[in-house]
Amino acid sequence: MDNLFGLDHPASADGLAHLATFTEPVSLAIAEEMLSDNGIPYLKKERGCGGVVRILTGYQSFGTDLFVRPEDEERANDVLAPLFEEADNEAAEEGGEV
């Protein structure tokens, strides 16, 4: 990606654990719902100027990072494991990197 504008690494959130980065809104919405349904609080941050781009265009492709409290990280990964496995399987079927 682009290291000049900070798009090549997760946004920063002091004291929180980076859970995952999502580039498509459907997967992000599913992950948010899964975390909410399991009572796991999370923070969502857009990469780079993604928040502004989303307001102007309704969509952004820079990626959105999800963060959780460190004590919730293991449980959150367990909750989202089916979503991550599905994404890995789809990438393998398309011949992309996993």
Is residue 2 domain-resident? no
In a domain, 7, yes or no: no
What pLDDT, in 10s, does the model give residues 31-72?
Answer: 999 999 999 999 988 876 545 455 555 555 678 889 999 999
pLDDT band of residue 16 (cuts 50, 70, 90) is: very high
Structural domain total, the chain: 1
Short-list 9, 13, 34, 31, CA closest to 22: 31
What whole-number percentage of the chain has pLDDT above 70?
A: 61
Owning domain of residue 65: 17-93
Are the C-beta atoms of residues 7 and 63 closer than 8 Å to each other?
Answer: yes
Residue 34 lies in a domain: yes
State which amino acid sits at residue 14. Answer: D
Domain containing 76 — which CATH number? 3.30.70
| pLDDT at residue 25 tops 50 | yes
Quote the pTM value: 0.71
Question: Among 18, 16, 47, 42, which Cα is nearest to 29's?
Answer: 42
